[in-house]
Each structure stands twice: as C-alpha cells, then as structure tokens.
Amino acid sequence: MKQVQVVAAVIREGDKILATRRNYGEFKGGWEFPGGKVEVGETPQQALVRELREELHVKIVPGDLLDIVEYDYPTFHLSMRCYWATIAAGEPTLSVHDALRWLGAEEITSVAWLPADAGLVQQIGTILRSSEQG
C-alpha cells in the first residue's frame, strides 16, 4: 500500500482551534486541520510552515508535537504528524479550502471531519475543555 507522509497544524487561538474544509479532490467537503505533504529535504516543521503559507497565507510558529496519526484509507496509508501551532503573522485567507471555522470544545464535533482527523478531534476537545475549566 502506498505510504503518504503529511503534517497538520492544530492552530489554537485562546479556546478555539482552526478547521478548514477541502475544496478539491477525493475528500472535497471534508473538514481537516490544515497542512500537507512533507517534501524531500524538509523537516516536518519546515513543511508545516511552507504549507500554511501556501494554503492560508499565514506565517505560523510550530509548537509541540501533539500526536502522530496512522490511518489506512482504501488506497493509501496516511502518517500524519500533528503539531500545535500559532499564527505569527497574517489572517487566514482561503485558497485551497472553501471554508474555515474557529471551533471551541462544544463545537469541535459539529463539522464532518475527514476520517484521519476525526480521532484527533476527541483528544483536542478534551484538552480544550480542561483548559476552559482551569
């Protein structure tokens, strides 16, 4: 099975995280954490900075590794390194996505997440809820 290595940014502002909706390809209409493929010679963090600049026209600062998601789609295996991130400059602008939303703990399950992202959503929801309480 084909192996695909990607990175994803869990961009957090206060008690909300950024979700984007795909506007192309097989998974059009699904919600995801923004990111993309790691190019040859890039570190995951460098790929994340490049992808967010290309996709959302923002400069981000990658933070800690949140999780590594391994997911088998029907035609490929996805390995997705998910990092916390913050926006250092710019406002998210749509280019390869057709929508974006800032979601809090109570709204995080209100969108149709892509299968690989869905498992991470529960973990992030728990983190957001615990930070709201503490």
- Taking the C-alpha atoms of residue 7 and residue 46, their distance in angstroms, rounded to an integer, is 10
> For each of the chain's 134 residues, which pLDDT tens digit applies?
899 999 999 999 989 999 999 998 888 999 999 999 999 999 999 999 999 999 999 999 999 999 999 999 999 999 999 999 999 999 999 988 999 999 999 999 999 999 999 989 999 999 988 876 65
Residues β-bridged to residue 71: 78
Of 26, 29, 52, 16, the residue nearest 98 (C-alpha)? 29
Q: Model-level pTM? A: 0.92
- Taking the C-alpha atoms of residue 20 and residue 57, their distance in angstroms, rounded to an integer, is 13
How is 19-70 classified by DSSP, letter by letter? Answer: EEEE-SSTTTT-EE-SEEEPPTT--HHHHHHHHHHHHH--EEEEEEEEEEEE
